[in-house]
Amino acid sequence: MHALLESLRSLLAASQDVAEAHDHVSATGTEVEYAELASFMREATSVNLDASVRLNGGTIDISLPLNPLIAGDVWRLSLSKNLVITALGLLEDEVSVFLFVSPGALDRWLQSIPTISNKRPAMPRRLTIHVVDGLAQVTGPNIRVIASSRQPIGFDVEDAQRFPSTEDVAGLVHLTSGTPSFAPSVVALTRGDLDHPQADSVRKIAERAMLLCLSSEIVEREGKQVAILRGGRRSELPLLPDGEYEAPSLHNILNLQAAISWLFSDNKETRHSLLVDRVCLEQRDGESLLDVVRRVISLAVVDAKEKYRIFVLDKKDASAKELRDVLKDVRAQADTYSAKVRDLLSSFLRDAIALLLLLGVGLFSKIDSNELAKLPSSSAAGWLFVVLGSYFLISGASQITFHSMDLRLTRQELLRWLGASRNYLTQSKIETVVREGIVSRRKFFVKAMIALGIVYALTATALFCWEPIVVWLIGAGH
């Protein structure tokens, strides 16, 4: 222990009147405590600590030796704890550091923090508490209580993700009178002297934080917090017992923390409903929520886990059935791509046959070789071939465009329908199944669309450039 803390502890122990809060400490005494006061002033000067000491109403310079006190002298010490923490180098990055001389002062501070506050949360997100007269050391993911006379204990960072934040609790439990003053993730306890009497107040604050998670709604009535449970039946009961109540046993707090960790680890809405339902059924007249939870939490967790196992099995069966239904719809969508390819091919073949019949039977079969030689110079024939070429361009472009738009809209409607009609499959899962189910057919459709588009374009080009082709055919015929 640092000499400054030892001298401060001795001075407060000898003083007649001591008032200690979480941020400052004051003490009053007489000439009887001269030795302790002089020792503290020397140690404060050695670390450049700015402490306020008044003697008989006047301020004295603590850097100067203290003259002996005589009968009737009254001194008063006022000390900011933040200055002590800074002077001793106890500050930590992103951690709020508190210092208490007596465990009783720590107990009073923790008990004064409301479970739910309509102001800013009273607790920081990570804190270290030094207790000069402390004997017990406890720690968790974001809290540690250090006894100044012992080797400091570290944070239990391995369990940092086990417990919910304030936002997690507020998202699950409806709070009408404010927000939780402290999150389970901040005050959860995992290692150390957890069953030591000096850890009672820390266990109590951890229990209060966890307790909020086992209600459906918290309201304030006549200055008291009332928990509303919506399980198999609706129930209202006080959140905490009236007056003082005993700290939870080590068994109680560990079971409660394990329940909350399980609740928030997966599918928290369902697990919360199962736990609240069992707690609601076990309630007795006149009990507070804390009383019920201490009595039945172990049984409630076992029952909730068994029901959750059945729920998961039922959900898996329902998910498998939904997946089969989705695959059927995807199969139909994949068949649509094949149908579109067949439609494109049949439309092209129809247009090609119509072109052959028009030119071969309707035009070339009715003119002799002399008239055929005059065909390239015919304006009427030129307009005919231009019209035919334009038809092939418009036909190919319109078919490819409309079929592509139809398939895209069909896929979007399929995704919307599947998303709205399925209860167990996520939208991302549905999109993945649809994408993987039609990818090969879609690639084939794109290739076929490109190939037929090229054929349509080549046919239209041949029709637009008909004159040299006809001249070549006439020459080849002779």
Contact 105, 200 (CB under 8 A): no
pLDDT at 450: 85
Alpha helices in 138-286 (DSSP H): 166-172, 184-187, 200-211, 250-265, 268-281
pLDDT at 125: 81
Measured between alpha carbons, how far is residue 232 from residues 71, 169, 276, 284 in Å?
Answer: 72, 22, 9, 15
Q: DSSP letter for 219, please.
A: E
Give the chain's radius of gyration (CA, Å): 42
pLDDT at 79: 94
Residues 6+ apart with CB under 8 A from 404: 449
pLDDT at 189: 94
Nearest to 126 by CA among 143, 103, 145: 143
- Residue 25's DSSP bridge partners are 20, 79
Helix (H, G, I), strand (E, B) or coil at 181: coil
pLDDT at 158: 81
**pLDDT tens digit at each of 478 positions of the chain:** 689 999 999 999 999 899 999 999 999 999 999 999 999 999 999 999 988 999 998 988 888 888 888 888 999 999 999 999 999 999 999 899 999 999 999 999 999 888 888 765 556 788 999 999 988 999 999 999 999 989 999 998 887 788 998 888 888 898 887 888 888 999 999 999 999 999 999 999 999 999 999 999 999 888 888 999 987 788 899 999 988 899 999 999 999 999 999 999 988 999 999 999 999 888 888 899 999 999 999 999 999 999 888 887 777 777 777 767 766 777 777 677 778 777 877 877 787 777 766 665 555 555 555 555 555 555 666 677 777 778 888 888 887 887 778 777 777 766 666 665 666 566 676 667 666 767 777 787 788 888 888 888 888 887 777 666 666 655 544 4
Nearest to 27 by CA among 79, 101, 96, 98: 79
What does the domain layout of the chain look like in residue ranges?
3-84, 96-287, 317-477
Question: What's the predicted TM-score (pTM) here?
Answer: 0.69
Write out the two tokens for 57: 């109403």
pLDDT at 371: 55
Measured between alpha carbons, how far is residue 455 from residues 287, 355, 424, 443 in Å?
Answer: 84, 14, 47, 19
